[in-house]
Chains A and B, each alone.
Chain A
Amino acid sequence: MTTTTTMTKRGVMTGYLSRAGGVSALTLAVAIAAAAAPLLSPTSVSAQVRMTVPPQSEPVALRGATIHTVTNGVIENGTILFENGVIIAVGTDVEIPAGARVVDVSGKHIYPGLIDAYSTVGISEIGAVDVSSDVNELGDFNPNIRAEIAVNAESRHIGTSRSAGVLVTLTTPGGGLISGMSSAMSLEGWDWEEMSMKSAAALNVNWPNPNPRRGRGRGFGQGRGGPPQGPPPTYAEQVEKLKNFFAEARAYRDAAAAGEQTRTDSRYIAMIPAINAEIPVVVSADGAAQINDAITWAQEEGLRLVIRGGRDAIHVADRLVANDIPLIITSTMAAPGRQYEGYDGAYSMPARLHEAGVKFAISGGSGTLYTNRLPWEAGVAVAFGLPEEEALKAVTINAAEFMGISDMVGSLEPGKQATLLITTGTPLDMTSDIEQTYIQGREIDMMDIQKFFFQKYMQKVLQNRRIVS
């Protein structure tokens, strides 16, 4: 991979892959077919499969852009300088060292790479193909599960997520009562080890549901004499199991600290950073009673609590604010939870929580395979009342802070990783384009599987058109 020195030189498909502008797309395509046919040969296409690029080897200065630092405001006509993957300076008056590669990005915008606080990128490939999923381990208690080691660096979803501006994910296992550890992954690298930013970033707990809702049956039933269904385990039983597991983990830690001989238990060992509040405990809870009970429990346990889901969080807003408990919203682009709720119940939830003073991140949770939709999850909240800068924080600095990685990513500040986007506008709206991304200073190959198929099969259309004409 050769580094390029200007935006416009990047790749052969620039005009082809981006907005057609005033020109009819068809005309454009035909024009390209005629003028650039050699460049679109099968050889050049196959060379376009997403390539992993080497670590940053020379200082890079991006100059002339509107820089959205997130934490320190917006800098017009600014420059950002980074070296060895780390931001050196951001501002209008940045001294560019000798030997730096300077890229003119005038008229563009620079944002920090977006962070999906709840993702399965890399551990889930094809929804209905069970064997392609490593999300759910068997059993109720799996704190020792770490997502990172199952992350497939060749997953197709990595490229498409990056193209959408999502450069960091908290890849997270699910299932059981304690699902395991989220790993913070940067979406560039030859293998999971290179990608991993933090192996055990957060412990995940699924809070049981005391108020499972029953549907009102209409339509076509099982008919007379249909098979009966057994009762599920009770709420109290499940909560008791959870509490007991934490108590056992604490006892294990204390026994070990006291020098008592105990047989090793990898599950309790894994729990220690969580019960010591060194890493967050992310509790999945949607109902008000769930959230309330989870807060009471976490406070008794002395945990660093993050609530994930939070569909009814607005009813617990005062308590969340009073106790400074952050929330990861998983479903903004979603159906209202109840029939009487407004059609925009989920869309407007972030705005209402913001007004109530709740701190939150927004995740790409509307579909486990769709981390690439994270920007829309945040963007819809803007359409329904959330200030745009808050929506941006919800997918950058807030996600980083809650998940304990804000020392590395989440904003454009010296000392943080040079993980950023060059765009034509806000990454939260589909009317703008994401033109180039950098991850830890590496200038990312913007090809992904979807663009690859586009290039390949446009060839078929163009070849066919030549035959026809």
Chain B
Amino acid sequence: MRGGSSYFLMGDVVRAILSFLGLSLLLTSGVAAQQATRTQPVTGIRDNGTGFHALVGARVVTAPGQVLDDATVVIRNGLIQSVGRNTEAPAGARVWDLTGHTIYPGFIDAHADLGMDAVPEGGDVGPTHWNPQVRAWFSTTRNLQDDPERRAALRSQGFGTALVVPTEGIFRGTASVVNLGDAGVRDRVLRSDLVQAVGFQRSFSLGGAYPNSSMGTIALIKQTFMDTDWYMRAWGAYEDSGRAFLPPETSEALAALADAVQGNQPIVFETGSEEEYLRAYKLAAEYGVDAWYRGSGEEYRIIDVLRGRTDPLIIPLSFSDAPDVDDPESALNASLADLRDWYLAPTSPAQLADAGIRFAITSSGLSSLNEFLPNLRIAVARGLSTSDALAALTTTPAALLGLENTHGTIEEGRVANLVVSEGDLFTEEATVRDVWVHGRAYEVTRPPEIDPRGTWLITSDDEWGFEAELRLEGPLNRLRGSIDVAGPDGASIDLASAEVVAETGRIEVRFDGEDLGYEGVALLAGSVRGEEFYGWTSLPNGANPSFRGSRTEAFEGATRGTVAMNVPEIDLPFIRPMMEYGVSAIPEQPAAVVVRNATVWSQGPLGLMENADLLIQAGTIVAVGPDLDAPRGAIEIDATGKHVTPGLIDPHIHSGVSSVNESGFAIVPEVQMGDVVTHNNIWMYRQLAGGLTTAHIKHGSANPIGGENVFVKMRWGSLPEDLKLEGAPRTVKFALGENPKRRQGRYPDTRMGTQEIIRDHFLAARDYEREWQRWEANGEGIPPRRDLRMEAILDILNQELLISSHGYRADEFLALVRLAEEFGFRVQTLQHGVEAYKIAPELAASGVAAVVWSDWGAFKLEAYDATVYNARILIEAGVVTSLHSDNNEIASRMNWEAGKLLRTGLTPEQALSTVTNGSAKAVAIDARVGSLEAGKDGDFVIWSGNPLSQFTRAEQTWVDGRRYFSLEEDAAMRVQIDRERTQLIQAILSVGENDDEDEDRGRRRRPGRN
């Protein structure tokens, strides 16, 4: 995830210390006067300040884009009574002279973490939910706790109001809108339990085995949505019956989700990446929930997707630290993906605004809250207008949270939530002076009341006396300067540090004593009063001469630093995926393409043809044969001397998904790999480069019955949904042998147990089916619940979800084949099948296809009887046979895997069939891919020579009649990648120099700050 450890702006130190020591001061009192609407009796003497204030002289930004200079804001009883220019402070109001300051509407955080949902020791109690990660019953209102430090920290960044979102679990509970003042808990809630919160990462601390994967999490979310629906109906049936039978189970979590599932309460999805956003969106659409999205900071990667969407979007200012490029080898290790992320993530807010996408900005998603304002300024420096920035912190979240009539602007009658800043918070390194919440002022920082900048002549008459000229310059929060010591041993020394201590009006300076003949550091401190300066020094020799000084010259310059674009403008075109070899658009699909004069391995009835042509129109193969007529305008490719084969197919890989195994249960067919496909997968490009065009992404092998697999085509540059092979059969992963039985403490522990748990679930699914049938016939009692797991198993039994089973040994495979036969269906494929050759006749008889390796074996005990002749024996026995990789890397060279079979006596076409037509047939996608035949997809590879030779390489790879890979384009992209990497590494180095306080500085540089 994003972010490093916390860091401070020099100028933030004071504020941070104040905030985190809990030293935030309540400056006013008085709005507790509304006794008639409070239930708690007053103990002791009542506290009744007037609550009547006039803030005068400030620049007031009343709403995004609207500014009143030198205006007066009058506050009374927590509300804004008036705001305007040329308004006198009303008599009786406490007057705050804020000349030179800026007032903004109080910020609203639409996704704040107040840290109030820590898991109780021993876990949650009561009838909540069987899964500890489902905490939808948790209410931030009911659990609102006094947490002054956290609130003060949020206030220090300008926030007065927040949607407090719980953070633990997958279903996390309800978020409430609270004000961030220090009033009692009953006075802080503005909107109770407004939205349900859901996230895609589980909490380790909550425990529970399931889910432990991305797809398991999504399966749990789906099942929970459906269970909620059932829960309402079940209880309804029970009540309607007059409680004539035993009640259904009690689940506070499901009860709490009822509104959300019915679309009456929003769900805010916290997403940690662009992929999670895409998944949340799909899930929300599928289940018809009213979704809000907490973004990830990766919005710049999906601007095209977000454009036009109006669902509430709340983005964090989560910007990556720069990759370490401080030495050549570190720089060598910096990926373009990381470099681009460093440069581009800060432009996400501006890009969203430019695309007309409305968004709120949250303080969440940062490793430290102190990053918030600095990162906000970076976003502004990188193109976000200050009015868009302010809107994202005020009017947009106000409208989202239903506070648009009370919050978000400075207007008469609005709640007096204000941010008082000593300068422009968005463009200058200005600190927040006060935050007003419901008419009460909370001090955040006090700017230094002295300005020590200028030239001082200081003299000391002590024994170690001296005369020196001290120069202090630069913005107040980044003072720098030098000291010139007069006399024969004198020297001019740059100050190591200089800072103003705000509360005391003192200036503290350090410098190296070496040039004065002292080994060590000299300290100098003094109190400034007007143009006079009194202080003492601490010299490395232990002497402490005192001195006095007077200012001989003032320093003219801005009192605080401004924030500006500090990185070079680099033209980084939008690419997808946002990494090496990403493309600006997927390749065009020509109306017609004809490949001429090649050796064509049709892998179909036409066999292997010399000097043949291949014609593809609109992505589909039209003809294969000699001297084809091509339509006018067809793209002609001369492939004389080349070989052309169908695009290669790998029926077993695990790349391109966010997780591989859901091992929380032994039986998990409800989880779907299709839910977690990711396009951010460099392997897809490399596999294309090796001629692969279609792959079957498998669930892992941790379970006797694993999850549902997914077929993808190598459409590099597409989003996950567009990668999927349309109309592909549904398949499910089974696993036998060592892997599923080695999970400690989870049944099964033996091959026998593996067989039995599968059988038991087959039986359970039949029972489930009968329960439904019974209920549908008579409608009596509690309606059955829809169970995604049981439904998936029924699909297996009905051969709608085809079994693709991992396994090695002959015995376990034979047992599964027989088990399927017992239930009247057929296993589609055995995968790995190191010993498949031992039961080749049985597989042929049962119609089971074999997906095996060429020469991989002996990496574990059950793989010891591997033989490269496996495929040969299977083919001789009449088994449909394919090779597979089960490995990112090998998937990128499947032609050579097939080539290894030549030495077993297979013909070249037979050998190639194990990565083309045989593969397609094995996994039942042969209607579309696997051979060069009219009507099939235009997926093909042009090879430099015999594709089965170790000396051959792929020159072009086409998918759907689009050229996704060619050696020429590859070469051009490498040049572009090198250029971008060089530019970005230089950009990091150019930023780093002024930010070197930190030992870990290389990792901290941010593009866009001063």
The chain A residues found within 8 Å of chain B, CB to CB, are 16-20, 24-26, 28-29, 125-129, 156-157, 210-211, 213, 216-227, 287-289, 312, 315, 333-336, 338-340, 342-344, 367, 369-370, 372-373, 375-376, 379-380, 382-384, 388, 428-431, 433, 449-451, 453-454, 457-458, 460-461, 464-465
Contacts and interface: CB of A to CB of B under 8 A. Distances in A.
Interface in B202-235: 202-205, 212-214, 217
Interface in B834-858: 837-838, 840-841, 855, 857-858
A338 to B, nearest CB: 6
A211 B330 contact: yes
Contacts of B872: 25, 454
B921 interface: no
Nearest to A366: B889
B868 interface: yes
B867 A450 contact: yes
Interface string B44-87: 00000000000000000000000000000000000000000000
Contact of B838 (A20, A220, A460): A460
B630 interface: no
Contact of B860 (A18, A24, A126, A221): A126
B951 A454 contact: no
Nearest to B866: A450
A219 B888 CA distance: 17
10 contacts: A24-B907, A125-B858, A219-B659, A224-B168, A225-B203, A340-B981, A384-B953, A431-B949, A450-B868, A461-B876
A75 B557 CA distance: 86
Contacts of B336: 339-340
Contact of A25 (B329, B868, B875, B903): B875
A388 B949 CA distance: 13
A343 B873 contact: no
A461 B201 CA distance: 51
B904 interface: yes
**Chain A to chain B: the 7 pairs with minimum beta-carbon distance, closest first:** A379-B950, A127-B859, A454-B869, A128-B860, A450-B867, A464-B841, A219-B658
Given A17-B905, A338-B333, A29 B876 contact: yes
B950 A380 contact: yes
Contacts of B990: none
Interface of B: 1, 167-168, 201-205, 212-214, 217, 273, 275, 328-330, 332-333, 335-338, 579-580, 658-659, 678, 680, 682, 685-686, 689-690, 738, 837-838, 840-841, 855, 857-861, 863-869, 872-873, 875-877, 888-889, 892-893, 896, 899-900, 902-907, 910, 944, 946, 948-953, 970, 974, 977-978, 981
B949 A429 contact: yes
A12 B286 CA distance: 64
B858 A343 contact: no
A78 B513 CA distance: 84
Nearest to B1: A217
B848 to A, nearest CB: 15
A439 B841 CA distance: 39
B117 to A, nearest CB: 11
Contacts of B892: 335, 343
Contact of B840 (A25, A217, A457): A457
A327 B217 CA distance: 48
A375 B902 CA distance: 15
Nearest to B905: A20
B680 A20 contact: no
B866 to A, nearest CB: 7
A343 B899 contact: no
A289 B329 contact: yes
B332 A338 contact: yes
Nearest to B170: A223
Contacts of A226: 204
A81 B204 CA distance: 71
A339 B1 CA distance: 19
B970 A430 contact: no
Nearest to B690: A343
Contacts of A372: 855
Given A218-B273, A384-B953, A453-B837, A25 B905 contact: yes
Contacts of B858: 125-127, 156-157, 369
B859 A126 contact: yes
Contact of B910 (A25, A217, A369, A433): A25
Given A218-B678, A287-B329, A369-B858, 12 more contacts: A24-B907, A211-B329, A218-B680, A219-B678, A221-B1, A225-B204, A315-B332, A338-B335, A340-B974, A376-B950, A429-B949, A453-B865
B205 A224 contact: yes
Contact of B877 (A287, A449, A464): A464
A220 B664 CA distance: 14
| Most chain A beta carbons < 10 A, residue from B865, B951, B952, B970 | B951
A258 B974 CA distance: 60
Given A288-B332, A431-B949, A464-B841, A373 B855 contact: yes
Given A25-B875, A26-B876, A460-B841, A382 B861 contact: no
A431 B946 contact: yes
Contacts of A25: 872, 875-876, 905-907, 910
Nearest to A450: B867
Nearest to A461: B877
B869 A451 contact: yes
A450 B869 contact: yes
Contacts of A289: 329
A340 B204 contact: no
B201 A453 contact: no
Contacts of B907: 20, 24-25
Contact of A224 (B204, B217, B859): B204
Contact of B203 (A17, A128, A224, A380): A224
| Most chain A beta carbons < 10 A, residue from B273, B904, B907, B950 | B950
Contacts of A126: 858-861, 863-864
Nearest to A342: B974
Contacts of A213: 333
A16 B893 CA distance: 28
Contact of B579 (A227, A339, A429): A339
Nearest to A453: B867
Contact of A19 (B167, B678, B838, B905): B905
Contacts of B859: 126-128, 367, 369
B951 A461 contact: no
Contacts of A458: 873, 876
A312 B329 CA distance: 10
Contacts of A380: 896, 950
Contacts of B213: 220
Contact of B337 (A336, A339, A429): A339
B339 to A, nearest CB: 9
Contact of A339 (B214, B580, B893): B580
Contacts of A430: 896, 899-900, 902-903, 948-950
